[in-house]
Amino acid sequence: MSFFVVFTLIYFSLHAFVWARMSLQLDLSWRTFILGLLAALALAMSPYLARRLPETWNPAVVRIVWWAVYVWFAAVAYLFWLQLAALILQLLARLAPSAWFAWLPRGRAQLAAVAAATALILIYGLWAANHWETPSYTVTSPRIKRAVRIALITDTHFGAIHTDAWVDRLVKTINGLQPDLVLFAGDQLNDHVGWLDSQAEILRGLQAPLGAYGVLGNHEIYVGASPSSRFHELAGVRLLRGDTVSLPGTGVQISGVDDPGHSPNAKQATAREVDRLKSALNPGDFHILMFHRPWLWPEEAAQAGFDMEVSGHTHGGQLYPFSWFVKIYYPYLAGHFEAHGSHLVVSRGAGTWGPPLRVGANPQIPLIILKPES
């Protein structure tokens, strides 16, 4: 079953549950309820339809459509969680003394409380998505010859959602960290790549003496490796696609591999690609692996000779409490991890995927400081 079918069924189920609860709270007729379900089905398909809007359309119009579709996506998600919580409380109220739940609103008042709470969450999420955290992680090694400041950028998801002004502010924030090197660990792109030349030009304003390097994430694979490569070339970002580079005078080597996308046996194929890179590694250097998903650490990456892996992809869950479910599949959700002398840094990402909101997982631009070991 395709991702689109599974996603649409889940998204429709959220709408159906929310609409069923609203129908009870508003005491609507069965006829109105059925008509609402038909509208819910149309809304459940709206993200797919938005992604199909052609690049020949006016970008401003498409941006408005995307914002409407994906803010609604977040609204339905939180309406679902809050309506579910209200239902559980109502069921508990039937089992407990009535005085214990006298405060719990019912009917229209309950719906108003749920709607108000959802609105507050959306406002906070929109605000949080535009305020980057800049955590700093220091790593030392005797193989590092001099200090190197690395800005790690992941999951910007440039496309219909973000404006040139947003990209310009991102570049200024990165430059404010005074990095020697900028690493783009995948999912720089999301959609409508033909519109993004101006955003690529803005990225040329990055100030990093050792340059900017990147890898393709799963979304670059989805939009196409060729247009993705062209974007990075315009942006002045060198892609590492199974390649290794040495940073002069630092004792640091960087390698990168593509995300496998929907390829079968993706983990095994990527592990083989990483193992192939061993022959390019200088034994006397500190080795960094760029790979979009935090899959290969510590086993494959460390065994191949990498001292550090930098990744993204998880978004830190992006919208709480979905982080609970993301963490099941990606236990290294976000942060700096160390095991057996090897390091992993996973960024929550600078942008958003789908809803332009973040709740409980603020966007970030990690600063990794490599230092010689005294």
Helix (H, G, I), strand (E, B) or coil at 170: helix
| CA dihedral for 314, 317, 319, 325, sign (positive or negative) | positive
Kindly write down the DSSP assignment for every residue of 74-119, as one continuous string: HHHHHHHHHHHHHHHHHHHHHHS-GGGGTT---HHHHHHHHHHHHH
Count of C-beta atoms within a 10 Å radius of residue 193: 21
Residue 91 token pair = 């069921």
- Does 104 lie in the same domain as 176? no
Per-residue CA distances from 39 to 12, 42, 50, 53 (Å): 10, 5, 16, 20
Q: How many helices (H) and strands (E) does the chain have?
A: 12, 12
- Does 187 lie in the same domain as 109? no
- Does 292 lie in the same domain as 154? yes
Q: Write down which residue in 100, 128, 156 finishes a domain.
A: 128
Q: Specify whether the CB–CB gap between 182 and 212 falls below 8 A.
A: yes
- Does 279 lie in the same domain as 311? yes
How are beta strands 136-141 and 367-372 bridged, if at all?
Answer: parallel
Residue 263, domain CATH: 3.60.21.10
- Does 189 lie in the same domain as 112? no
pLDDT of residue 177: 98
- Does 171 lie in the same domain as 316? yes
- Does 285 lie in the same domain as 160? yes
Domain of 25, in residue numbers: 3-128
Query: Which helix or strand (DSSP H or E) is residue 128 part of?
Result: helix 107-128
Q: Write down which residue in 128, 151, 169 finishes a domain.
A: 128
* Run means of pLDDT, 10 residues per run, the chain, 374 residues: 82 97 95 95 93 92 96 98 95 85 91 98 97 97 97 97 96 98 97 95 98 97 95 98 96 96 85 90 95 89 91 97 94 94 96 97 98 89
- Does 268 lie in the same domain as 149? yes
40 burial (CB, 10 Å; 0-12 / 13-18 / 19+) is buried
- Does 156 lie in the same domain as 19? no
Instruction: Specify the number of domains making up the chain.
Output: 2
Q: Write down which residue in 70, 94, 128 finishes a domain.
A: 128
The whole-model pTM stands at 0.93
- Does 42 lie in the same domain as 166? no
Q: Compute the C-alpha angle 46/50/54, nearest 5°.
A: 150
Per-residue CA distances from 25 to 81, 93, 113, 315, 356 (Å): 16, 16, 12, 35, 29
Residue 95 token pair = 């089992």
CA 28 to chain centre: 39
Helix (H, G, I), strand (E, B) or coil at 176: helix
- Does 340 lie in the same domain as 280? yes
- Does 205 lie in the same domain as 106? no
Count of C-beta atoms within a 10 Å radius of residue 303: 15
Please enumerate in sequence order all residues whose Cβ is within 8 A of that of 36, keeping only pairs 6 or more positions apart, or say none: 19, 22, 23, 28
Tell which residue, 221, 261, 215, 217, has the closest CA to residue 237.
Answer: 215
Helix (H, G, I), strand (E, B) or coil at 232: helix
